[in-house]
Structure 1
Amino acid sequence: MTSAKGAPLWWQLFRVGAAAGRSASAGRARFVALACAALAVSIAVSTFTLIFAAYDGRDERGADRTPRFAQSASDPEARALWKPAFDEVNNTQFSIVYLAPLRADAPLPPGVSAWPEPGQAVLSPALLAAGRSEGIETRYGAVAGTIGEAGLASPGEWLAYVRPGTDLVVPESMRPVTRFGSFASLGFGEAMFVQPIRLLLVLAAFMAAMPAAALSVSAARAGSDARDQRTALLSALGGGWRTRAVINIGEAAVPVAVGALAGAAAAAMTLIRNTHLPIVDFTVARADAQHWWWGVLGAPLAAMVLVLLCVVLMHPPQRRPQGTRPRLAKTRLPRWWPYLCPLMVFVAVRGPELAPTPSTRLLIYAIGVGATMLTLPSLVGLLAAAIGRGLAAAGRRTGRSGALVAGRWAAAWPGATARLTAGVIIAFVLVGQTQLWTTRNTGPAVQAQQTVDRVGSSIVLVSHPRETPVPQGFLHALPPGTEALRLKIEPKSGHAELNGPCEALKRVALPCSPTATPVELRGIDPRLGELYSWDTPAQGLSARQTTDPQGPLVVLVGQSGQQISVPAVKQAANAHLGMSVTVDTVAGSWLTSASMQQHLGRWTLLFGIFAVIVIVIAIVVSNLAEFVRFSRQITALSVLSGNRTIYLSTSFFALFMPLLGASLIGLTAHYWLATPMTSNTYSGGSELSWPLLAFVLAAATALAFLVWLWGAYGAVRQAHNWRPAAD
């Protein structure tokens, strides 16, 4: 259909919507909100795309560097020897691979351009930069070069290829390699330390998609009273859902396009260069994003469609009134939706206990928490409607006009109360969940940190499983003032024995006797007390003087109060003891394990910051829109009541009390939802941060107070200019 001027009807309706958007109530705030919503949804969709891209690229490069093995080193196809191992920098574990060529045409793994000399290593750029403070440049010998991106799971991977000295190569402990490149990744390197993709997808859905959806709903419904009246008018004139959809799209198209363009610009940056993510210290490879270019560039378009779809769905046709009596249109709430909230709380709190695996527990918990956040505001709106009817009745009996008006407002517009309070409730849960996941730790890890704080590196443990004397070259390469003992444990009795030269025994106040002498544990040197607690079966300890120490563990002790340089010990071990030698402080391995768990906490923090920013925008949008709506609809009260003080009391009950109640409800909901995290449901318990929650509660109370005064002041200002109108 076309107009007299030849313009299609849909274009006229689109222009009508665009014109309505420019003159709508809270129009500027809605413009900014819709643009932010489109940007947030674009980032959320791009996040899902880049997660798949990063894991896909990691698997592909992992397969390219996976060796194909021969039956034995004597096999004619065998060209090199290969052995994976682990090391740590700053309590963060990473992979090292020992390589030794068997033939002149020995293949090289991807990213390595030439064979290093014996006693040299090739490191990834990220490891080289991160480990300089711990002597990584000399730990495995001289650095012969860096690994190219083609040989790394991600540009920020920590990886080292080490060619051990000729005298340290043990062919029996290494696997013969024919070439590199397989159909599937062997799973060494970064792939061993990253979380499963499903965990990141759940985190992205919980901390990115859900807040973006909440912002989209808030932006779509901002200033919705006039839009609801227009929808009713269009329905009365015979306009169908297509007419309403085109007008609503025309009203929102420009701001949504602006947000989508901003999202497209951010997405395009990932195609141009590597993208470093703060907090988690992860780099998204440009090559991975380019491989998924269709998803990266399609994310802003998908965001635009999703936000416009939300705008259309958030303005359904109004119900036809029964009879001719004028009625105040009520915001519709799904009848069954609020009643899902108690069930979702039960799923989040008790559901994980019934799950058989950690990943299933996490999935059930995330579903329960997310569904609680989605349904709780509707339950609050339902509760507000009930309280509003009681407040109106009380105001009528006592003659308090402010309570009467506010009560009827809450009873007539429960959806407005739900929108007003939703952001505050979600913010409490998101901030609380971020704090819980970033501080989650196991009990042994906490005790290990306390041990390290007490003794530090004044005692260092070196694995030497071979029953051979410790090479003198290793002892001479140790930091000055370091003495060495060996720890031996009887398999049957579990009794531990420290043996070595008298000088070393005296260093830790042990008796010098050629026969095993039981050690009184009371008053023992603190370093030995920690060693006994962590590295022995705790079935007794004895000391023995000998010139031929035995035991699989070399115990290095410094002078009282002296800290031994662990990087120096590692360098000496790599140079003289062989491959795969473990060097650590007492209880240090527990901190390394805890750092892997904390890595997920850092991802939670990154997503949590994004979620809180988005929710804060949603709160501002909701409060601003409701402030404009509230101010405009009660401006005539001063004419009816004869004074303007009614605005202060009305806004107190209609704005301040719902926001304050939402803060307390959000705090209570978070306390319940935190139960699985603070109990034994998960292997690592978290603790509630009451100072943080008190700060959030104070901020929410201040926001409620500001909105109260803001709403009352705005209503008074509009009352000065109010004139009767035929609306």
Structure 2
Amino acid sequence: MRTSMRTAGTLVRIGLAAGRSTPGDRLRWWSLFGAALALAFVTLATVATLATYDGRETRADARGAVITDGKHGALLYREGADSVGSRPVSVLFLHLLTPKAPVPAGVSRWPEPGEVLLSPELLRTGRSEGILTRYGSFAGTITADGLVTPSERIAYVRVADAPPKDDDRWMHVAAFGAGGGATGEMADQKPATSTLLALWSLTGLPTLALTVVAARVGSRSRDRRSGLLQALGGTWRHRMIVNVGEAAFPAALGTLAAFVPYAVASVRDIRLGPTGYILDHRDVWDAWPTAAGAAVVSLLAVLGIVVGTHRVHRDGRSTRPASFTSRVPAWRLLVCGIGVALVLTSQYVPQRAQLAVFTCGTIVMWAFLSSVVALLTRHLGSWLANSGKRKGHAGRMIGGRWTHAHPGVIVRLALAMVIGIGIVAQMQVWTSRLGVHSQAAVATHQRIKDTVIQLTTGGMTAAQTDRFRSSLPAGSLLLTRAFHDPGPGKDPWVTIAGSCRDLRTLHVACPADTKPAAATSPQVQEMRRWYGNVEFAQVPHVTVKPDSTESLLVVTPEPGQLTAVKQAAYTLPNPSVQVETLGGNWLGSSRAHLANWIQLFGITGILFILVAGAVSAAAECVRIRHALAPLSVLTGHRRVFRSVSSWHLTVPLLIATVLTGAVTAWHSVFFISLVQEGSVSWTVLAAGITTCAVVSLTVGFLGARAAAREADQWRPAAD
């Protein structure tokens, strides 16, 4: 036992010394540090995500309303909706039936009639839009205990007058805190699995690629050391201890460094730009024990990848390492095929599982597609070597033999480009999935801004609408919109009614007009796009029936007056009014904001994959400069550096770029046909392919340049 411990200690010291003395040791040290930091960062982000979901559910339960019948109700409660900018706002209208009505979490006491409580984020973002007086007099803020997240926009409005008894939209509430509530940010919450799937698809996969690349930096010396240990009778345990000793120090420091952002997020709320979401520090703080365990798992994963990428033949008959340098393991190709199969079969599984199966297949395919590229380039290398030998082309022969003998180099270099193009393509396709209505809303906003505003309210008399008209911005038009459904077999239509003066302003003819109206205004054209079959009618006075079949339309003379219209609308007798621009509910939908989360995860993943590509290219420059330097003595000129570097690096990477571009195009088109929405930007894909082609040329140029510089000072050594 004592001998085993002494041997293990010696092997650990050998590993520590090897980490400080191998060629490119600083590059390997920092690459392992960065890879461990990145993997721990994503792992801790996973812990924070799960903790946030748990905290959201707990706080939603604490404020959830307990609905009851009229006999046991302590207050009347109605949910409404509004928006500040393009962000949705949850407005909760209240009318107390007893002075001792219960309050939800986050509220110490109910405001007086006509007053309102606002969440801090709503107060901050809506101050410029008159949120302090929109629903009533500002009476205070809701504390953090009553908010699902600090970024939630929610308001409790105590109405000044009792609501109508026949309005069944008001619910009787007996208490708060006995169940969940679908208000605020909980109204359209996606499951945690969706968030984690996006996180690991766009950020986790590049992190794993960075870890694999970092583990193989300077692998030539470690492969030789592993072979020597085996020749001396060492087992896989001895080799593992040496490799772990070499990588443990930078990996442990990188893992500890990942706790810095986690620690900051656990003591103060962090806004996740560009999403605008604020991470609640209390949830992150409560998850510290889980985070510590997850960090240990992350560190073990890094060390496991280091050990797993440095193996020798198991039969013991050869000291040559079996790390991926001389051939492409068949299991890698099989796993890539499984990923493609998952993508293809995702259309045949139940609809709820289609996206999950497709995403899993995508991750597997992108992770192992570079192995397919390496297999092709390995065969290409053999052909190049034979061609160069026949024609006496030294650079082509040497470059071809290197490519045939070291396909793992191509895998590591191509891995960054393959995953990078895949992430860029997926970001573009996912952000194009706004849906037909959201795309139409964006187009409408671009054409007419917010000049057409819809108001959904209860019944209004002519006197009430006249009073409302007087509070609108000068020059505004007031119309009514009525929906007609004639029944099966007939097309529904919409009637828009107003005074002749208002209709003529929109270039719509009145019945009494003898001259045809001019071309209709852009506002009328947008109404037809959204409402379909539209008929216009002239009425002497604008009124709204209380049966919810009619609503109001306000057309402002210029954009930017939505705030003033909302201010006027919320002074109406019916407090449950809902105000939005034409198609505005689709502008503020969760799907419209999905692009922000895709950008957050995707850009972070691209940064990690850029680091992986830079590390891989730098490591190859370190290797190739030592290997190529003696050729200047044998050939007598330096052109061989450019030739070998081009055939060994540039040509295989260009092949990888073309193959990746073709697979990405197929993958994107397949995804759109699967979800039946979105579009492929061929410009973005072409830009990604062009960038990778430029990178391929640059890597070859830098490799040749590094070898030429090394040749100036190369001296024979007993290596």
* TM-score of the superposed pair, with normalisation by structure 1: 0.91
Give the Cα–Cα distance (whole angstroms) in 2 for the partners of residues 666 and 212 of structure 1: 19
Q: Relative to structure 1, is the Cα distance of residues 173 and 13 closer, same or farther in structure 2, using a 3 angstrom cutoff?
A: same
Question: What is the letter of the counterpart of residue 684 of structure 1?
Answer: E
2:574 is the counterpart of 1:586: no
CA-based RMSD of the aligned residues comes to: 2.8
Q: Which moved more, 1:702-711 or 1:633-642?
A: 633-642
- Using the TM superposition, give the Cα deviation of residue 666 of structure 1 relative to its aligned residue in structure 2, in angstroms: 2.5
- Counterpart residue type for residue 42 of structure 1: A
Deviations 1:223-255 (A, max 9, x none): 111111111111111111221111111111121
Q: Does the C-alpha gap of structure 1 residues 613 and 564 become closer, same or farther in structure 2, counting only changes over 3 Å?
A: closer
1:440 to 417, 433, 441: 433
Greater Cα shift, 447-456 or 31-40: 447-456
Residue 164 of structure 1: CA displacement?
1.3
Residue in 2 that maps onto 1:333? 328
Partner of residue 697, structure 2:
705
SS at match of 2:485: coil
Q: Which residue of 2 aligns with 1:408?
A: 401
The answer to whether the 8 A contact 2:453-2:582 is kept is yes
Q: Say how many residue pairs are matched.
A: 709
- Whether 1:59 aligns to 2:53 is no
8 Å contact from structure 1 (residues 264, 297) kept in 2:
no
1:675 is matched by which residue type in structure 2? V
Secondary structure in structure 2 of the residue aligned to 1:681: helix
Tell me how far apart the structure 2 counterparts of residues 422 and 243 of structure 1 sit (CA, whole Å).
30
The 5 Å alignment of 1:170-249 reads 172-182=168-178, 184-249=179-244
Deviations 1:318-341 (A, max 9, x none): 355868999999434321322443
CA distance in 2, matches of 1:147, 1:219: 48
Aligned to 1:162: 157
Counterpart of 1:571 in structure 2: which amino acid?
Q
For residue 601 of structure 1, report the CA deviation from its aligned partner. Answer: 1.7
In structure 2, what is the equivalent of residue 48 of structure 1?
46
Shift of the 518–294 alpha-carbon distance from structure 1 to 2, 3 Å rule, reads farther
CA distance in 2, matches of 1:630, 1:328: 18
Unaligned runs of 5+ in 1: none
Matched, 1:10 2:5: no
Structure 1 residues 519 and 586: alpha-carbon distance in aligned structure 2, compared to 1, 3 A threshold: farther
| Aligned counterpart in structure 2 of residue 543 of structure 1, from 525, 532, 537 | 537
Any idea what the Cα deviations from partners look like across 1:264-294, whole Å, max 9, x if unmatched?
2222222222222111111111111122121
- More deviation in 620-629 or 715-724? 715-724
CA contact (8 A) 2:311 2:321 kept: no
**2:330 partner SS:** coil
SS state of the match for residue 534, structure 1? Answer: helix
Deviation at 1:724, TM superposition (A): 4.3
Q: Could you list the per-position Cα deviations for residues 184-219 of structure 1 after superposition, in whole angstroms to 9, with x for gaps in the alignment?
A: 412221112332211101111212221111111101
Q: Which amino acid is the alignment partner of residue 543 of structure 1?
A: A
Q: Which one of the candidate residues 471, 474, 488 is aligned to 1:480?
A: 474
Decide which moves more: 478-487 or 458-467: 458-467
Q: Which one-letter code corresponds to 2:206 in the other structure?
A: P
Question: Is 2:253 aligned against 1:258?
Answer: yes
Structure 1 residues 188 and 706, CA gap change in structure 2 (3 angstroms)? same
Give the conservation status (yes or no) of the 8 Å contact 2:24–2:619.
yes
Q: Secondary structure at the match of 1:719?
A: helix
Query: In terms of mean alpha carbon deviation, does 526-535 or 714-723 score higher?
Result: 714-723
Task: Kindly indicate whether residue 523 of structure 2 is the aligned counterpart of residue 530 of structure 1.
Answer: no
The worse-fitting range, judged by mean Cα deviation, of 386-395 and 577-586 is 577-586
**What letter matches 1:597 in structure 2?**
R
Structure 2 CA distance for partners of 1:368 and 1:71, relative to 1, 3 Å: same
Give the residue type in structure 1 aligned to 2:583: A
Instruction: Give the counterpart letter for 2:200 in structure 1.
Output: A
8 Å contact kept, 1:431–1:608? yes
328-337 or 366-375: bigger deviation = 328-337
> Could you tell me which residue of structure 1 aligns to residue 263 of structure 2?
268
For 1:294-313, list aligned pairs within 5 A.
294-313=289-308
Distance change >3 Å, CA 648–CA 314, structure 1 → 2: same
Per-residue deviation at 1:550?
5.1
Q: Which residue of 2 aligns with 1:23?
A: 21
Per mean C-alpha deviation after superposition, the further-off stretch among 425-434 and 456-465 is: 456-465
CA contact (8 A) 2:325 2:409 kept: no
Map 1:675-694; keep pairs closer than 5 Å.
675-677=669-671, 679-688=672-681, 690=683, 692-694=684-686
| Structure 2: distance between partners of 1:31 and 1:269 | 26
Looking at structure 2, the residues matched to 7 and 547 of structure 1 have their Cα atoms a distance apart, in angstroms, of 96
Q: Is the 8 A contact 1:124 1:158 kept in 2?
A: yes
1:51, distance to aligned residue in structure 2 (A): 0.9
Rate the CA distance shift 1:278–1:167 in 2: closer, same or farther, 3 A.
same
Task: Pick from 541, 550, 553 the counterpart of residue 551 of structure 2.
Answer: 553
Alignment partners' CA distance in 1, 2:711 and 2:698: 20
Distance 2:516 2:193 in 1: 52
1:36 and 2:31 are equivalent in the alignment: no
The partner residue of 1:427 within 408, 420, 427 is: 420
Per the alignment, residue 369 of structure 1 pairs with 362
Change (3 A) 1:321 1:394: farther
Q: Distance in 1 between matches of 2:712 and 2:324?
A: 27
Q: CA deviation digits over 1:353-405, x for unaligned, max 9? A: 33442x52321221122111111111111111100110011001100011111
Alignment-derived partner of residue 312 in structure 2? 317
Contact residue 521 and residue 529 of structure 1 kept, 8 A? no
Separation in 2, partners of 1:667, 1:408: 26
CA positional deviation for 1:142: 1.6
Whole-Å separation in 2 of the counterparts to 1:702 and 1:59: 49
Match of 2:109 in 1: 114
Partner of 1:100: 95
Equivalent residues of 2:418, 2:656 under 8 A apart:
yes
CA distance in 2, matches of 1:270, 1:46: 11
Q: Offset of 1:448 from its aligned partner? A: 2.7
Deviation (angstroms), 1:83: 1.2
Asked if 2 retains the 8 angstrom alpha-carbon contact of 1:459 and 1:564, the reply is: no
- Find the counterpart in structure 2 of residue 608 from structure 1: 602
Deviation per CA, 1:633-692: give whole Å up to 9, x if none.
Answer: 333333433444322211111122122222222222221221134x343253133151x4
In 2, Cα distance between the equivalents of 1:397 and 1:172? 90
State whether residues 195 and 600 of structure 1, in contact with CA within 8 Å, keep that contact through their aligned partners in structure 2: no
Deviating more after overlay: 92-101 vs 329-338: 329-338
Q: Which amino acid aligns with 1:526?
A: P
Q: Please give the secondary structure, in 2, of the residue aligned with 1:84.
A: strand
One-letter amino acid of the structure 1 residue matched with residue 36 of structure 2:
A
Identity %: 33
Secondary structure at the residue paired with 1:597?
coil
Q: Which moved more, 1:417-426 or 1:547-556?
A: 547-556
- Is the 1:54–1:284 Cα contact (8 Å) retained in structure 2? yes
Secondary structure in structure 1 of the residue aligned to 2:116: strand
Question: 1:696 corresponds to which residue?
Answer: 688
**Alpha-carbon distance between aligned partners in 1 of 2:205 and 2:31, rounded to the nearest angstrom:** 16
Instruction: Note closer, same or farther for the CA distance 1:522–1:123 as it changes in structure 2 (3 Å cut).
Output: same
| 2:160 counterpart letter in structure 1 | G
| Alpha-carbon distance in structure 2 between the residues aligned to 1:442 and 1:331 | 48
Give the drift of 1:168: 4.8
Bigger Cα displacement from structure 2, 477-486 vs 107-116: 477-486
* Residue 714 in structure 1 maps to residue 703 in structure 2: no
Any idea what SS the aligned residue of 2:421 has?
helix
In 2: Cα distance, 1:325 partner to 1:418 partner: 20
- The residue aligned with 2:455 is 462
Distance 2:24 2:706 in 1: 13
Please say if 1:636 is aligned against 2:636: no
Counterparts of 2:542 and 2:258 in 1: how far apart (Å)?
Answer: 69
Give the C-alpha shift of residue 410 in structure 1: 1.0
Per-residue deviation at 1:41? Answer: 0.7
Matched letter for residue 33 of structure 1: S
Question: What letter is aligned with 1:165?
Answer: A
- Letter aligned with residue 611 of structure 2: I
CA 259–544 in structure 1, closer or farther in 2 if over 3 Å, else same: same
SS at 2:156 equivalent: strand
User: Where does structure 2 lack aligned partners over 5 or more consecutive residues?
Assistant: none
